[in-house]
Amino acid sequence: MKFNQIKETALYVKNLDQTEAFYSEKLDLKVISKVGGRHVFFRVGSSVLLCFLAEKTKHDKSLPSHYGEGKLHIAFEVPNERYSEVKEEILSNGIEVEYEEEWGEQYQSFYFRDPDGHLLEIVPQGMWE
């Protein structure tokens, strides 16, 4: 089998309004779908970030359950030349950078958390290629 990419990633959240404000206002992601009391979805390049209220999707009948719990990790890729600029934007939006890692001579990344404690990372383009 050969896959092109991961098209969707799901996070489970407690407060949709807080989640929408964080991802759309602080991270500038476009909302592409929202069902109040259930989910909000965001466009991230050619991928989609799905944010569900876990309890509302636990007993879905029309789709397999999207229930989950716990803090997860996802990384957002940015162009190499914008890495420092994105870091400054994150900081200027009142988001605390928790950690920054040097991955050898070419790459570095930094970590921060969303309102639900999910660990988010910014990585430069080319990492993992």
List pLDDT tens digits, range 64-95.
Answer: 877 888 999 999 999 999 999 999 999 999 99
Structural domain of 110:
71-129
Asked if residue 45 and residue 25 are part of one domain, the reply reads yes
CATH of the domain at 26: 3.10.180.10
Asked if residue 76 and residue 62 are part of one domain, the reply reads no
128 SS3 class: coil
Asked if residue 2 and residue 62 are part of one domain, the reply reads yes
Cα(108)–Cα(111) distance, integer angstroms:
10
β-bridge mates for residue 41, sequence order: 33, 50
30-35 and 47-53 strand pairing: unpaired
26 SS3 class: helix
Per-residue pLDDT of the chain (129 residues; tens, 9 = 90+): 998 889 999 999 999 999 999 999 999 999 999 999 999 999 999 999 999 998 888 887 788 877 888 999 999 999 999 999 999 999 999 999 999 999 987 899 999 999 999 999 999 998 887
pTM score: 0.93
Asked if residue 31 and residue 75 are part of one domain, the reply reads no
Total structural domains in the chain?
2
Q: Which of 33, 53, 70 is the last residue of a domain?
A: 70
Other residues' Cβ atoms within 10 Å of the Cβ of residue 107: 16
